[in-house]
Amino acid sequence: MTADESGSAAGPTRRVLVLNGPNLGRLGSREPDVYGSTSYAGLVARCAELGAELGLAVEVRETNDEGELIRWLHEAADERLPVVLNPGAFTHYSYGMRDAAAQRTAPLIEVHISNPHRREEFRHTSVVAEVATGTVAGFGIGSYLLALRALAEEPAD
């Protein structure tokens, strides 16, 4: 048995996908007054570090391609994987992504670095929220960490 298979003392490691939509690869340089100064690499490292502490095998991905994000959501549904999803701008209009998220077979938590309700009106609507297990927003990179903690508390299949 490998270290990944043995997991933590609490049990086997549970695989989790952290999926990011457009422009999130630009963290650290994109509007730091809104999105903070943590780079995308910093986000990946913090998610992996906390995941390891929680007994989660966290895989962080980012795409600017709507079709790729949809394929990742299909993968998660097919493999019954929990998802932390920051859809980026797709939050507000991608019904294809919303329909893929609705096919989830494990918890899916929508996250946002900023609080969309404190921003422009077009950001107030999420097409994902009604099919997500829950939403965490407005805590910077901490939104991801809170979502991972919530997933760690969810019973595994």
Consult the annotation and say whether 123 binds a ligand.
yes
Consult the annotation and say whether 124 binds a ligand.
no
Integer Cα distance of 39 and 65 in angstroms: 20
**CATH among 3.30.465.10, 1.10.3730.10, 3.40.50.9100, 1.10.10.10 for 3-153:** 3.40.50.9100
pLDDT one-digit tens code per residue, 4-57:
444 444 455 899 999 999 878 766 666 556 555 578 899 999 999 999 999 999
3-class DSSP state for residue 20? strand
Q: What does each C-alpha distance from 21 to 119, 128, 139 come to in angstroms?
A: 18, 13, 18
Question: Which residues are designated catalytic?
Answer: 35, 112
pTM for the predicted model, two decimal places: 0.84
Which two three-digit tokens encode residue 147? 């979502």
How many C-beta atoms lie closer than 10 Å to residue 119's C-beta? Answer: 12
Which two three-digit tokens encode residue 18? 């952290």
Consult the annotation and say whether 113 binds a ligand.
yes
For the chain, give every domain's residue range.
Answer: 3-153
Which two three-digit tokens encode residue 98? 């919303």
Consult the annotation and say whether 92 binds a ligand.
yes
